[in-house]
């Protein structure tokens, strides 16, 4: 478990990357891209600080599903890289929470 938490900590460093140009206020597949980024950061932080309450786990799982719809619709190379990293962070956070729940 600690290795996964360490990996999440390191992966969350994507936040140091500049936010993609043109994506502030942009909706992709009905998803506000700033909120998607903020939700990812919030869930990652909460997972790093301890287990999520049950309702939040459902939100994290839905967040990972949203990336599945949004990523194929992004045509900008940098933004695709940025949001792929964000998706990877959300997916690892969900994986950590699943292990905690066992």
Cα gap 39→65, rounded to integer Å: 13
Residue ranges per structural domain of the chain:
2-100
Give me the pLDDT at residue 10, please: 86
Question: Global pTM?
Answer: 0.91
Of the chain, the percentage scoring pLDDT greater than 90 comes to: 71
Cα gap 67→64, rounded to integer Å: 5
pLDDT digits (tens, 9 = 90+) for 26-76: 999 999 999 999 999 999 999 999 898 877 888 999 999 999 999 999 999
Give me the pLDDT at residue 15, please: 79
């Amino acid at each position: 478990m600690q290795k996964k938490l360490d990996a999440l900590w390191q992966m969350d460093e994507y936040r140091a990357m500049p936010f993609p140009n043109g994506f502030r206020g942009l909706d992709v597949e009905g998803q506000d891209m700033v909120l998607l980024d903020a939700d990812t950061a919030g869930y990652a932080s909460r997972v790093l600080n301890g287990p999520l309450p049950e309702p939040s786990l459902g939100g994290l799982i839905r967040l990972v599903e949203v990336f599945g719809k949004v990523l194929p619709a992004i045509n900008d190379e940098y933004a695709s890289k940025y949001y792929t990293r964000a998706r990877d962070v959300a997916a690892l956070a969900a994986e950590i929470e699943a292990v905690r729940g066992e």
